Structures are given as C-alpha cells and as structure tokens.
Amino acid sequence: MTISTSGLHHVTAIAGDPQRNADFYLRTLGLRMVKTTVNFDDPGTYHLYYGDEAGRPGTLMTFFPFHGAPPGKHGNGQATATAFSVPEQSIGWWQRHLNEAGVEASRVQNREGEDVLTFHDPDGLVLSLVAHPQPDPRDPWDNGAVPAEHGIRGLHSVTLSVDSEEATAEMLGGMGLTLSGQEGNRLRFAAGAGGPGAFVDVVVRPGAERGLVASGTVHHVAWRAPDESTQAAWRSELVDSGVSVTSVLDRQYFRSVYFREPGGTLLEIATDEPGFTADEPLLELGRALKLPPWLEPNREQIEATLPRLDLPSENNPERLAS
C-alpha cells in the first residue's frame, strides 16, 4: 500500500457500569470527557470519549459501557493492553497516586528503554503508563483531577497478541509501520518517526488461548487518516489487496472503515476531521448528551433508556478529586 498512517487515532473498549467507568477515567486518570453520546449501532448504550482538552486524535480512549456485561477474556486475536504516555519524571507520582486511589499496580519495568507501570481499570482492562525518554510535545488536560505536570499526554501504544507474527507484520508494514525493536517475543512497530502515540507492540504467543471481547477488553484499535479522500484511497488499496473492509461509516466526529488484521484484532481507519467541536463548543465538550441527526428524533426514548450518568464539573477540581 502507498498510504501510511501517522499513528493511533483512538482505542475503543467494552466496560460495565458507565458511572464507574467515568469516575475512573475522569477522577483517577484525569482525562477529559470530550463527548457523551451513544453507540450509533445500539443507541441504548452510551459511547463515552475521553482525551485531551479538544479530543485530538491520538489522545482518545473510548468506551461502550454495558451495565451488567459479562467479563471478557484476554488472549490471542485481540489488543491485550493499552498504554498512555506520561512525563519521564512522573512515574513515581503515578505509583503513589494509584496506590492512594486503591488501584493495584505492578512494579515499574523497563522495556524498550521506557519505564512502564501496569495496572487494570475497574473492569479488568489492562492499562499502562509509559515514560518515554523522548519528550512528548502533546499538552495534557490541565483542568482535571491530575496536576498538569504529571498529566497523561495521550496514547502511547497498543499491544496485539497473536499466534504468529508474519501476516500481522506484513499488514502493519503495508500501513506504513516499520519494525523498530524486539525484546524476546515482543516486536515493536512504529508509524512515521515513531514516538508516543505511534507505536504498536506485537506479542507472539503460539498456541495461547483466544481472547473473548466483552467487558474489560478492547473492541478495536483505530489508526489515523488525515481526511476522507486519503481514507477512501486507503480503503480501495485494502480491498484490492483482498482485505474485507466495511463501507465508510459516519461517526459524526470522524469517518470510519473497519477490517481485521490477520491475527484477529479489529482495526479501524478514522479520519482526523471533523473533530469533536462539530456539534458543541470546545468549552462545553462532554457536558450534554449529543446525538447524530438521524437519532435526534428519538432523543426522548433514548434518554429514558440510558442509565443516569453524573459527571463532575470541570470547573471544580475539588469535586473531581472527591
């Protein structure tokens, strides 16, 4: 393929209770709620987007929270870990912060020259905070529960677990990612010049059990395309190479196409445009339930179906930390 991605756009996972999910990602991790909407394919379920101040591509972690959803199973054929980028000097602060929040975390490990702190969210989703020696120029959300100097800068990487690496590596190479390192059974691929937000690790586990996507697991991993014309050209190249790709879907804040890499993980190509200010001002992101035009006529029914979700005021950090 002749088109390359510049890095990760977002990661979408399945959660259980939406209130518990929001409390963790807003209060414990200090991200901003940049959009409160619904799963367009299942409007009785929220779709919650967390990220930086504007929800820029590469900072986004999103969830479909199904109250009472059964737990998933981590294994081959899925993204088994999601990592966020933090400043190099902040790992110690995060260890203390997570401990005070009652979140059990691993010891800090050094991998690929980076300090890695691993833990789980309330539904069992595997998360890591990674301090990369290369400075991350992205600004954190500075009005949340975490001091800006320690704040999450955005996504760092995802980890895909596979039986064998050859076909997955070939597809990643076709997307413009190159092999940049290897430690044992872990191969690192980088988009462009690499750096936080542009990495995917592939862990090879021959014969390991397949994963089951449900609560506490990643649903899909999205890669960036700058605009719709690039996305369309990329889709055509995938189809011509024999990959089964969906039609272009309107997600209101970006356009999407989906396909599976040979190891089994669902991937997406998402456009950078139009962004999260398409239907509400920057200062008001995430505060109100937003629906796409085709669902707006059903707002009353949708609101009656969705569980109550209490979001803390962004202008009251004390309430965020309570």
Domain that holds residue 262: 7-320
Quick check: is 24 in a domain? Answer: yes
243-285 pLDDT, tens digit per residue, is 999 999 999 999 999 999 999 999 999 999 999 999 999 999 9
The CATH number of the domain holding residue 296 is 3.10.180.10
Residue corresponding to tokens 């991993």: 221
Quick check: is 1 in a domain? Answer: no
Cα–Cα distance, 134 to 132 (Å, whole number): 5
* Best CA proximity match to 164, nearest among 217, 202, 220, 212: 202
Q: pTM, whole model, 2 decimals?
A: 0.95
Q: For position 134, what pLDDT does the model report?
A: 80
Structurally, how many domains does the chain consist of? 1
DSSP 8-class letter at 92: H
Quick check: is 2 in a domain? Answer: no
End-to-end CA distance of the chain: 50
Instruction: Kindly report the number of other CB atoms within 10 A of residue 158's CB atom.
Output: 20
133-149 pLDDT, tens digit per residue, is 888 999 999 887 899 99
Quick check: is 306 in a domain? Answer: yes
DSSP 8-class letter at 26: I
109-131 pLDDT, tens digit per residue, is 999 889 999 999 999 999 999 99
- In degrees rounded to 5, what are phi and psi of residue 61? -120, 125
* Best CA proximity match to 219, nearest among 29, 10, 40, 5: 10
- The answer to whether the peptide bond before residue 274 is cis (omega within 30 degrees of 0) is yes
Cα–Cα distance, 316 to 258 (Å, whole number): 39
Q: What percent of the chain has pLDDT over 90?
A: 91
Element (H, E) at 271: strand 266-271
